[in-house]
């Protein structure tokens, strides 16, 4: 073995070279060969797995070259939970392999394990390529990591190396750690979105898994998803059942109405169905006549002011109000387009 290759192997082994003598098939480069049957997916894995041409291309690559980049796991009971490499494992099975090269991590907290799952996935794809629910997971995980002092900085550097083969060229398409993973960077600057949208993604992360899927599918608008995230888990399940059963969509008005009724303590199946179907929002096209309270009139107008003049002033005030509301709505829509 030439000196250059030996150096790469030694460097790789120094990263992953913990003692796993109890595990069979340990190799000199610090990786371990594990049977595919001994692997289980990360619980509640938040990322969409490859399908179609992308998956087929990976299968063909593995048939030709094997699994070049080791997967990352941790031991859970008598199995090994995948932290990085779900797509490689699925493709390896399809390619007919029975074992894959593996890096076994020990002593991880739940937070550190989740950080490996999210950041290694993000390294493979652009943030803008992720579905809404996947972006929410990435931001929520990073947000938690930034708030806690216990996350090891060395783990952040190691995550990048966990995603690379030892002979990966210097012109790799992976973005450097300093660009993506430093916990002292502002989340909004990292992902190019406003603090307001950071808050929205954190709320989306509070949705139940089925509702997150509906947001990704466009059956629930993102802003509507924010309102729905405040509902109890029981009511979220009810809303998901009504949407799925009738293929309804939920916009901001419907979501706000659902949240309002829950807050008032009168959200049930019938009410939710009327709201989601749009029946509760239907109108005859006519506004029922009403009178302004005298206290409101006297607050803004003189007692002797002409009735027609008062009506004209109110009309101008309403024109201005709804014009401002329309502009505000337009600004919100532009903000939504920017995060897409």
pLDDT tens for the chain, 340 residues long, are 444 444 444 433 333 334 343 444 556 556 788 999 999 998 878 788 888 888 999 999 999 988 888 889 999 888 999 998 898 999 999 999 999 999 888 888 888 888 888 877 777 777 777 888 888 888 887 777 666 645 555 665 665 565 554 443 333 333 333 344 443 345 666 667 777 888 888 899 899 999 999 999 988 988 999 999 999 999 999 999 999 888 888 999 999 999 999 999 999 999 999 999 988 877 545 556 777 788 888 888 888 888 888 888 988 988 888 888 766 655 555 555 454 4
Angle at 260 between CA 256 and CA 261, to 5 degrees: 120
Buried residues in 47-71 as b, exposed as e (16+ CB within 10 A): beebeeeeeeebbeebeeeebebbb
Which helix (H) or strand (E) segment is 114 a member of? helix 110-124
Neighbours of 150 (CB within 10 A): 8
| The pLDDT of residue 138 | 81
| The pLDDT of residue 303 | 82
pTM of the predicted model, to two decimals? 0.54
| The pLDDT of residue 60 | 92
Return all residues near 148 (Cβ < 8 A) that are at least 6 apart: 111
| The pLDDT of residue 162 | 56
Report which DSSP code applies to 250.
B
d(CA 251, CA 274): 14
| The pLDDT of residue 126 | 74
**CB burial of residue 141 (10 Å; 0-12, 13-18, 19+):** buried
In degrees rounded to 5, what are phi and psi of residue 248?
-80, 165
């Amino acid at each position: 073995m030439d000196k250059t290759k030996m150096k790469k192997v030694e460097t790789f082994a120094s990263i992953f070279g913990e003692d796993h003598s109890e595990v069979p098939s340990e190799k000199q480069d610090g990786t371990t060969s594990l049977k595919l049957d001994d692997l289980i997916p990360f619980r509640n894995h938040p990322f969409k797995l490859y399908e179609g041409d992308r998956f087929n291309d990976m299968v063909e690559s593995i048939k030709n070259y094997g699994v070049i980049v080791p997967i990352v796991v941790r031991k859970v009971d008598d199995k090994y939970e995948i932290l990085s490499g779900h797509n490689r494992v699925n493709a390896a099975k399809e390619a007919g392999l029975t074992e894959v090269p593996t890096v076994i991590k020990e002593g991880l907290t739940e937070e550190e394990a989740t950080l490996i799952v999210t950041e290694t996935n993000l390294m493979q794809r652009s943030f803008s390529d992720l579905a809404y629910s996947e972006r929410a997971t990435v931001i929520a995980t990073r947000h938690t990591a930034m708030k806690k002092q216990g996350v090891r900085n060395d783990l952040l550097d190691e995550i990048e190396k966990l995603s690379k083969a030892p002979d990966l060229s210097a012109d790799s398409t992976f973005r450097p750690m300093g660009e993506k993973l430093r916990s002292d960077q502002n989340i909004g600057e990292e992902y190019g979105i406003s603090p307001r949208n950071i808050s929205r993604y954190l709320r989306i992360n509070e949705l139940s898994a089925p509702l997150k899927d509906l947001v990704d599918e466009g059956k629930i608008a993102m802003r509507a998803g924010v309102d729905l995230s405040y509902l109890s888990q029981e009511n979220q399940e009810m809303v998901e059942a009504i949407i799925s059963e009738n293929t309804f969509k939920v916009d901001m008005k419907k979501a706000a109405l659902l949240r309002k009724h829950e807050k008032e303590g009168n959200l049930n199946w019938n009410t939710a169905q009327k709201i989601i179907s749009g029946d509760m929002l239907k109108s005859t096209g006519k506004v029922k006549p009403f009178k302004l309270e005298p206290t409101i009139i006297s607050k803004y107008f003189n007692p002797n002011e002409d009735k027609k003049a008062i009506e004209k002033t109110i009309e101008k005030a309403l024109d201005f109000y709804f014009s401002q509301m329309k502009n505000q709505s337009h600004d919100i829509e532009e903000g939504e387009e920017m995060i897409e």
